[in-house]
Amino acid sequence: MDFRLGEKELALKEGIRKFAEAELPPDLVRNTVIDGEFRDFEFEISMSRKLAQRGWLVMSWPEKYGGRSASLLEQTIYEMEIAYWGIPGAWMGISGIQWVGPCLMMFGTEEQREKYLPLIASGQKDGVWCTGYSEPNAGSDFANIRTRALRDGDDYIINGQKVWTSVAHRARWCWLAVRTNPNAAKKHHGISIFIVDMKSPGVTVNPILNYYGRHHFNEVFFDNVRVPASNLVGEENKGWYYLMQSLAFERRSIAPTTYGNLKRILEELARYAGQTEYEGQLLSKNPVVRAKLADLAIDLEVLKMFAFQLAWRISQGQIPVYESSRNKIMGDDLMRQGAIIGADILGIYSQVDPDSKWAKLNGAIQGAYLGFPGQAIAAGTAEIEKSIIAQFRLGLPKSY
């Protein structure tokens, strides 16, 4: 065993710190959890371009698609640091960098790779993706999707509805899961993935505001949307397999980003406790505050090790079975813990609007508090993740 970071990784951390100090406005609101991406689209995309220029945006991709074949360990460090500094624009609409790109490299045609990957890698507006998975009747029961794609000559015609589609209102492309065979023996076997141009006639995007009035996700309607057959990803009706891979990619990056986010929150809370007096005593001397922050720090250390362990396993060429689910549960749990402990420490100020001048710590705690319940549902609820661990790691019988 060896848990040392190499010179490369340490240099990368240092590089990102300098980048953040130079490029981010000092008063940037760091309540990134509630905002997700794309509150200020122009600014975010400008940051994406700068990250691309540094060779960071898609660092783990091969050179021919605009990356520099960085190791997964470097990628993990990068994600931790990006989240720690709250650098926006790192994901190109969440989907593009994390799973669309990697999945196209695994399952796409060379033509698809050459067309779409450079757009993502260079940080352009036309490289922003959304992902169409959930539907009104397909949440955790994802294989129940009904959006239909019917072959028509050289095209497919798509009809149906997606929901909770993050950043669809900014995306140029949709990574869309549809049903191509409604008569398959198992519903998992009739699913395919298509690349859909969001500018196609028949695509309608309606905003769904989250409970804090922020516009992050949408419902998307497909009304006789014509898509060329060359936009099918991999083989028809094999989509479920690609989807599982894409979800594994998505879940992998949750631990590093949550780690970075919370590490910053923990440090800010420790600083705040060291500067705030109550009844003649600094909060940092209060045994309850000390114990709560220490517990958060311990679990954060667990999350860090989980993130590294998963990256290491993938880098050994192994296919992780349950680790992404483990990390997702741990990350979500910790975000909740951090938000609640943070709110406890801020006390009555934890209710202040994160954008208000009254907000402590730039509203980061309110951002986490408002954001964690949503983050915990995206990409698989804790219940789904735990069932995956039980069945695929512990070998317990299927429960559904």
Partner 1 sequence: MDFSFTEEQDMLRMSAKDFLAKECPKARVREMAKDERGYDPQVWHCMAELGWMGLVLPEEYGGTGASFMDLVILMEEMGRNILPGPFFSTVALCALPLLEHGSSEQKTKFLPQIAKGEAMWTFGLAESSGKHKASEVKLRAVLKGTNYVLQGHKLFVTDAHVADYILVAGRTGEGERPEDGITLFIVDARGPNVKMEAIPTIGGDRQFKVSFDRAVVSKDSILGKIGNGWHIADFILQRAAVLKCAEMSGACQAVLDMTSSYAKERIQFDRPIGSFQAIQHKLADMLIDVEAVQYLLYQAAWGVSVGLPSLWQISAAKAKANEAYQRICIEAIAAHGAIGYTMDHDIGLYYRRVKAAQFAAGDTDLHREVIAAELGL
Q: Which residues bind partner 1 (CB under 8 A)?
A: 1-5, 73, 266-267, 270-271, 273-274, 284-285, 289-291, 293-295, 297-299, 301-302, 305-306, 308-309, 311-313, 316, 326, 329-330, 383, 385-387, 389-391, 393-399
Residue 275 is encoded by which pair of tokens?
């500067």
For the CB of residue 305, give the shortest distance to partner 1 in the complex, in Å: 4
CB of 220 or CB of 270, closer to partner 1: 270
CB of 124 or CB of 276, closer to partner 1: 276
Tokens 């790109």: give the residue.
101
The answer to whether the beta carbons of residues 78 and 59 sit under 8 Å apart is yes
Residue type (1 letter), 98: Q
Tokens 């003649």: give the residue.
280
CB of 13 or CB of 226, closer to partner 1: 13
The answer to whether the beta carbons of residues 106 and 38 sit under 8 Å apart is no
Residue type (1 letter), 31: N
Helix axes 254-275, 323-346, angle to 10 degrees: 20
User: At CB < 8 A and 24+ separation, what contacts does 392-398 make?
Assistant: 392/321, 392/322, 393/321, 393/322
CB of 355 or CB of 383, closer to partner 1: 383
> In whole angstroms, what is the distance from residue 58 CA to residue 72 CA?
11
For the CB of residue 350, give the shortest distance to partner 1 in the complex, in Å: 19
For the CB of residue 312, give the shortest distance to partner 1 in the complex, in Å: 5
Catalytic residue among 250, 267, 277, 301: 250
CB of 176 or CB of 248, closer to partner 1: 248
Residue 160 is encoded by which pair of tokens?
């149906």
Contacts for 161 with CB less than 8 Å, ≥ 6 apart:
135, 136, 147, 219, 220, 221, 222
CB of 51 or CB of 265, closer to partner 1: 265
Active site (annotated) includes residue 44: no
> In whole angstroms, what is the distance from residue 244 CA to residue 383 CA?
17
Residue 318 is encoded by which pair of tokens?
């192994």
Report CA-CA distances (Å) from 71 to 91, 122, 271, 279.
Answer: 18, 20, 34, 51
Run of H or E residues at 386: helix 382-388
For the CB of residue 237, give the shortest distance to partner 1 in the complex, in Å: 29
For the CB of residue 265, give the shortest distance to partner 1 in the complex, in Å: 12
Partners of residue 277 on adjacent β-strands? 282
> In whole angstroms, what is the distance from residue 229 CA to residue 347 CA?
57
The set of catalytic residues is 250
